């Protein structure tokens, strides 16, 4: 009976054990996971674009090799995550169709342009730094395949963050012009990075349910605070100023106070009105349709092989 299965599911969650694909799960739990894991996968794949745009313009062979490796890692992250989503009974084709038709989301951050090479460093430092803060707790998420994918992804993300920080450190030791490029880039990416954590807790419709199910283990505001606390000392070491006049150490809380991002901007970007939304989705759509022959050929080959084995 369903009630017995439900009891078993609730007990697994209460023990902080994993739910596996073949276990019974409430339909709403499955839907929440498909939504979050698919959005996460789409973010990795769309996230290849802003940085990929700089591969041909990297300033040295070394920088080019690092950036190529990093962008390839993002493709790999997308693939692990689509595989995790597939264990919930949805296919990658379906999910990609939902992405390109605008029915599924991807992270707001990738709708901002990359205007200089310093942005490659800033994305590594701030964007991948925010991703790590959000994703390390997800290693303990209640759905097994998602949590296990996160473990490997987090290891690679921490390399991404270091390469970004090292790039910025190198530029900060360079000319006044290079230092100004870093500061300008940090000014543009600071607030959008804070928005990556999602709306404030009191405006987040999914947090309570997702926490009760162990899908999320921290709220959006908790993780945003953790990110600010981690990043301010790094900004000091780098010698850049974070563009927030309200940023100040709060002795009592043992944390930094900080200003609020422009939440209207987040909702506009999420709704499709960010600076690069149309371009990002058009690019993905083009890659998907231009790749159709590869998928068809692979399927035809697989069909021929299995027919051969049967004969």
C-alpha to C-alpha distance for 174 and 45, rounded to whole angstroms: 33
What minimum distance in Å lies between the beta carbon of 142 and ligand ACO?
Answer: 13
Q: If DSSP codes are grouped into helix, strand and coil, which group holds residue 19? A: strand
- Minimum distance between the CB of residue 180 and ligand ACO, rounded to whole angstroms? 26
- Report in angstroms how near the CB of residue 220 gets to ligand ACO at its nearest: 5
**Closest C-alpha to 218, from 191, 226, 267:** 226
* Closer to ligand ACO by Cβ: residue 37 or 182: 37
CB 245 → ligand ACO: shortest distance, Å?
23
Three-state DSSP at 256 gives: strand
Burial grade of 51 (CB within 10 A; 0-12, 13-18, 19 or more): buried
* Residue 32: CB minimum distance to ligand ACO, A: 8
Q: Which helix (H) or strand (E) holds 97?
A: helix 92-100
Q: How far apart are CA 240 and CA 170, in angstroms?
A: 13
In this complex, which beta carbon is closest to ligand ACO, that of residue 78 or of residue 172? 78
Q: Which is nearer to ligand ACO, 240 or 270 (CB)?
A: 270
Binding residues (CB under 6 A) for ligand ACO: these are 35-36, 39-40, 43-44, 47, 105, 107-108, 127-128, 131, 134, 195-199, 204-207, 210, 216, 220, 270
C-beta closer to ligand ACO: residue 106 or 256: 106
Coil, strand or helix at 43:
helix
- 25 or 196: whose CB is closer to ligand ACO? 196
């Amino acid at each position: 009976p369903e009630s017995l299965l439900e009891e078993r599911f609730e007990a697994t969650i209460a023990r902080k054990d994993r739910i596996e694909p073949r276990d019974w799960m409430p339909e709403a739990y499955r839907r929440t996971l498909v939504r979050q894991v698919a959005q996460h996968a789409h973010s990795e794949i769309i996230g290849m674009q802003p940085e990929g745009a700089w591969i041909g313009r990297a300033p040295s062979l070394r920088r080019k090799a690092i950036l190529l490796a990093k962008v390839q890692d993002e493709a790999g992250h997308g693939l692990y995550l689509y595989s995790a989503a597939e264990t919930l009974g949805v296919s990658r084709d379906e999910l990609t169709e939902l992405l390109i038709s605008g029915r599924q989301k991807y992270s707001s951050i990738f709708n901002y342009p990359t205007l200089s090479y310093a942005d490659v460093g800033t994305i590594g430092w701030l964007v991948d730094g925010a991703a790590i803060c959000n994703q390390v707790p997800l290693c303990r998420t209640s759905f097994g395949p998602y949590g296990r994918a996160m473990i490997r992804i987090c290891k690679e993300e921490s390399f991404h963050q270091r390469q970004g920080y090292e790039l910025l450190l190198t530029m900060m030791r360079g000319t006044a012009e290079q230092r100004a490029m870093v500061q300008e880039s940090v000014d543009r990416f600071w607030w959008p990075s804070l928005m990556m954590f999602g709306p404030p807790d009191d405006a987040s419709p999914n947090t309570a349910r997702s926490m009760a199910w162990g899908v999320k283990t921290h709220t959006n505001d908790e993780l945003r605070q953790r990110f600010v606390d981690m990043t301010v000392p790094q900004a000091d070491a780098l010698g850049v100023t974070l563009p927030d006049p309200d940023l100040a150490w709060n002795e009592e809380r043992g944390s930094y106070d900080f200003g609020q991002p422009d939440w209207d901007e987040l909702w506009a970007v999420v709704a499709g009105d960010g600076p690069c939304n149309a371009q990002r989705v058009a690019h993905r759509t083009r890659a998907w349709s231009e790749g159709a022959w590869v998928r068809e050929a692979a399927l035809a080959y697989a069909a021929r092989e299995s027919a051969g084995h049967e004969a």
